[in-house]
Amino acid sequence: MGLPMAQRLMDAHHSLTVYNRTASKLDPLQAAGATIVPSAAAAIVASSCIILMLTDAAAIHDLLLCDESRSQLTGRTVIQMSTIAPHESQTIRDEVVAAGGDYLEAPVLGSIPEARSGSLIVMVGAEPDQFARWFTLLETFGLEPVLLGSVGSAAAVKLALNQLIGALTSAFAVSLGLVTHQGVDAQAFMAILRKSALYAPTFDKKLQRMLDRDYENPNFPTKHLKKDIDLFISAAQSSGLETNGVEGVRQILTKAIAMSFAEMDYAALFSAIVPPAE
């Protein structure tokens, strides 16, 4: 996600300084004219605004809040765009503010194709003045960024939406498995489903991958969806919610990872639900 988002910034003529823990991933940006630096601290020193798209809160702490980086945050704004828990985002905000910086969260819904086209749904947790100040920049990634409340609110909405990714995809997979094992043509099933209130566009996005059991070249790997489901369950349980249904999705994802699909597209949960015909 970070690469196409960075390319959007360059296309909008922003000056870009970039750091990635895997240096080779930056080759396309270097070729396009971005400044590549050897550390997160160097990127912070060179920037007034730091945009984060990292795997999890642990990675954010390692890169943004290590002693070398933390000392450079004074007077700078951090826009955190990864999927993390609300309390994690609030803790990071407190540490950034204590270091003299400013912080807002802006997680996104969508994947690599939407990042390339600038059609991500950008959800913002910030104060109104922060939202106004950075609105034009956030529009680079998606039209009409939405202010949902203070820090933590956008993180919660992002987890709620990613929980639906897991729930809808696993529910579709088991239904598709049943009808195909009964000899029903998948397209006949889909023709009925598409006419109903039960239909979600994600079903068509994952249909052919499931039928072909082709999970290569993922836009969103299984391991990342599993991480987000874990975060959702923890946050929901802290709010006193019943999570048995979501825990079932977690079990399916855990099984898919055990089947060596961790780096594959999360449509691989189909193979965890529907064993191949012998």
Under the banding of pLDDT at 50, 70 and 90, the label for residue 277 is: confident
Whether the full predicted model's pTM is greater than 0.85, yes or no, is: yes
Q: Where are the domains of the chain?
A: 2-150, 155-273
Between CA 39 and CA 245 the distance in angstroms is: 42
* pLDDT score for 178: 97
Between CA 158 and CA 163 the distance in angstroms is: 9
Give the tens place of pLDDT for each residue, 21-53.
Answer: 888 889 999 999 999 999 999 999 999 999 999
Give the tens place of pLDDT for each residue, 77-136.
Answer: 999 999 999 999 999 999 999 999 999 999 999 989 999 999 999 999 999 999 999 999
Between CA 182 and CA 184 the distance in angstroms is: 6
User: 2-150 maps to which CATH number?
Assistant: 3.40.50.720
What is the mean pLDDT of the segment spanning 181-195? 97
Q: What angle do CA 49, 69, 231 make, to 5 degrees?
A: 80
* pLDDT score for 278: 59
Backbone angles phi, psi at 119, to 5 degrees: -115, 25
* pLDDT score for 127: 98
* pLDDT score for 1: 87
Residue with tokens 């939407």: 114
User: Any idea which architecture 155-273 has in CATH?
Assistant: Orthogonal Bundle (1.10)
